[in-house]
Amino acid sequence: MIISSSSVGNLLLMVVVMVYSCSGGVMGAAPRRPVDVPFGRNYAPTWAFDHIKYFNGGSEIHLHLDKYTGTGFQSKGSYLFGHFSMHIKMVPGDSAGTVTAFYLSSQNSEHDEIDFEFLGNRTGQPYILQTNVYTGGKGDKEQRINLWFDPTKDFHTYSVLWNLYQIVFFVDDVPIRVFKNSKDLGVKFPFNQPMKIYSSLWNADDWATRGGLEKTDWSKAPFVASYKGFHVDGCEASVQAKFCDTQGKRWWDQKEFQDLDSYQWNRLNWVRKTYTIYNYCTDRSRYPIVPPECKRDRDIY
Ligand SMILES: *[C@@H]1O[C@H](CO)[C@@H](O)[C@H](O)[C@H]1NC(C)=O
């Protein structure tokens, strides 16, 4: 068969389109993340400093939980909008009673907060990923899912995209939750309180695993969660410029990040249908009237 130059052209175009659409999704327009950023560049320990262990010049750290204490760290900077991610390998083996958290939070009393909480389990039993959003000090927007992989085997990327239009929770670039800006419906949306990035590992065996039935087995301590990926893609709010100018200047503000695309909506609906354990939006005994922001969740309610 003779391949004409125009079909070579089409082939090339196809390859380009394929490569583009494979890298599509939220990361499509994102700059490449620098690897091996040392922990200390953007983060500092919050408590129990000796329970954080450093590897490879700080490009990987381990949080240790034992019967004396857990530990945690926080970003040095505060951020107003951005894309915040962390590569985490959860506590392997028997992690029942432990909680590993990765979240953003502002520091004032009517605070905003965006939460990932990973609830451990007995060996071989599935973790639960709980997410929540606080606006103006009020949370009560829990969702819980199972994951489609074992989060203790490898590092996976957990991230939050936060701009004026939406907050999206991602697991390895798969959107698992969207919180749209529903200011027009009278729902508060985080927009003017800079947040720090936090992570911690602690004991919560009064509620975490099977509602508190499974207790932490301290004979298995220390419990160890591993972290990499300390780069931060956010608009840093310094003391001088409390509200940094993000309009149109940062990649996370641009058009393709203002809503999910149809591919992402499909992925999100796949997660919702297949992995949901709990969703406050569908909890009619707790919320007889559907919370307004839930109506923005296309396709399911
Ligand atoms: C732990 O495993 C049990 C049994 O498979 C399951 O019901 C529960 O949802 C799992 N996760 C947590 C965090 O309790």
HEC profile for 184-199? HHCCCCCCCCCEEEEE
- Which neighbouring-strand residues pair with 133? 114
Residue 301 pLDDT exceeds 90: no
Q: Note the pLDDT tens digit of each residue in 247-275.
A: 556 888 888 999 999 999 999 999 999 99
The predicted pLDDT at position 36 comes to 84
- Token look-up 């829990």 returns 142
Q: Assess whether the previous peptide bond of 222 is cis (omega < 30° from 0).
A: yes
The answer to whether 117 is a known catalytic residue is: yes
The predicted pLDDT at position 1 comes to 39
d(Cα 238, Cα 90) in Å, to the nearest integer? 32
Segment (H or E) for 7: helix 5-22
Spatial contact of 237 and 79, defined as CB atoms under 8 Å apart? yes
- Which neighbouring-strand residues pair with 110? none
> Averaged over 183-209, what is the pLDDT?
96
- Regarding predicted confidence, which is higher, 23 or 226? 226
- Which neighbouring-strand residues pair with 89? 226
d(Cα 190, Cα 11) in Å, to the nearest integer? 46
Phi/psi at 292 (5° precision) = -55, -40
For residue 146, how far is its CA from the centre of ligand 1 (angstroms)?
A: 9
Pocket test for ligand 1, best of 94, 128, 215 (most atoms within 8 A of CB): 128
Q: What angle do CA 41, 42, 44 make, to 5 degrees?
A: 95
The answer to whether 113 is a known catalytic residue is: yes
Please provide the average confidence, as pLDDT, over all residues in the chain: 88
The predicted pLDDT at position 299 comes to 53
Q: Note the pLDDT tens digit of each residue in 74-99.
A: 999 999 999 999 999 999 999 999 99
The predicted pLDDT at position 32 comes to 60
Among residues of the chain, what percentage have pLDDT more than 70?
A: 83
For residue 131, how far is its CA from the centre of ligand 1 (angstroms)?
A: 16
- pLDDT band, very low/low/confident/very high, at 243 (cuts 50, 70, 90): low
The predicted pLDDT at position 31 comes to 53
Residue 10 pLDDT exceeds 80: no
Pairing of strands 98-105, 71-75: unpaired
Residue 23 pLDDT exceeds 50: no
d(Cα 236, Cα 42) in Å, to the nearest integer? 11
Segment (H or E) for 263: helix 262-275
Spatial contact of 60 and 227, defined as CB atoms under 8 Å apart? yes
d(Cα 244, Cα 193) in Å, to the nearest integer? 11
The predicted pLDDT at position 30 comes to 52
- Regarding predicted confidence, which is higher, 244 or 240? 244
Spatial contact of 199 and 73, defined as CB atoms under 8 Å apart? yes
Q: Specify the ligand 1 atom closest to the Cα of 210.
A: 14
Domains belonging to the chain, first-starting first, are 29-296 (2.60.120.200)
The predicted pLDDT at position 2 comes to 41
Spatial contact of 254 and 105, defined as CB atoms under 8 Å apart? no
For residue 211, how far is its CA from the centre of ligand 1 (angstroms)?
A: 9
Residue 121 beta carbon below 6 angstroms from any ligand 1 atom: yes
Lowest mean pLDDT among 8-17, 44-53, 272-281: 8-17
- pLDDT band, very low/low/confident/very high, at 215 (cuts 50, 70, 90): very high
The predicted pLDDT at position 143 comes to 97
Pocket test for ligand 1, best of 90, 91, 117, 125 (most atoms within 8 A of CB): 125
Segment (H or E) for 178: strand 174-180
For residue 126, how far is its CA from the centre of ligand 1 (angstroms)?
A: 6
d(Cα 291, Cα 294) in Å, to the nearest integer? 6
Q: SS3 for 115-180, per residue? A: EEEEECCCCCCCCEEEEEEEECCECCCCEEECCCCCCCCCCEEEEEEECCCEEEEEECCEEEEEEE
Spatial contact of 51 and 70, defined as CB atoms under 8 Å apart? yes
The predicted pLDDT at position 48 comes to 98
> Averaged over 148-163, what is the pLDDT?
98
Among residues of the chain, what percentage have pLDDT more than 90?
A: 77
